[in-house]
Amino acid sequence: MVQENLTHETIEKVIAAILDEAQANDTLPEVVAGTMKRLRETDPKTAHAALRAMIETMAASLPADKRQIFLEELLVSLQSN
């Protein structure tokens, strides 16, 4: 149990450091894209769940009247690429 907690804490510290570095260097989109690509290659189900969580979190952060618009605009943007 102690080892599991240390691992979890270490992972959280690594995530924070990666995000801080990416934000400082203005490379956050590339970091997220690379991470998702690698995750899709190694574990598609987890990649799907992670992407779902990101989209749901973004939508939930918006006022109710803007959520549907955000999702529709995201879909249009993705379909046009």
Domain segments of the chain as ranges = 2-80
The pLDDT, as a whole number, for residue 44 is 93
Res 1 pLDDT > 70: no
State how far the Cα of 54 lies from the Cα of 57, in Å rounded to an integer.
Answer: 5
User: What angle, 0 to 180 degrees and rounded to 10, lies between the N-to-C axes of helices 28-42 and 44-60?
Assistant: 140
What pLDDT digit, counting tens, does each position of 5-59 carry? 778 888 899 889 988 998 899 888 888 888 889 999 999 999 999 989 989 998 9
State how far the Cα of 48 lies from the Cα of 22, in Å rounded to an integer.
Answer: 23
Residues in the chain: 81
CA proximity to 55, closest of 44, 46, 67: 67
The pLDDT, as a whole number, for residue 69 is 92
State how far the Cα of 54 lies from the Cα of 68, in Å rounded to an integer.
Answer: 15
The pLDDT, as a whole number, for residue 48 is 92
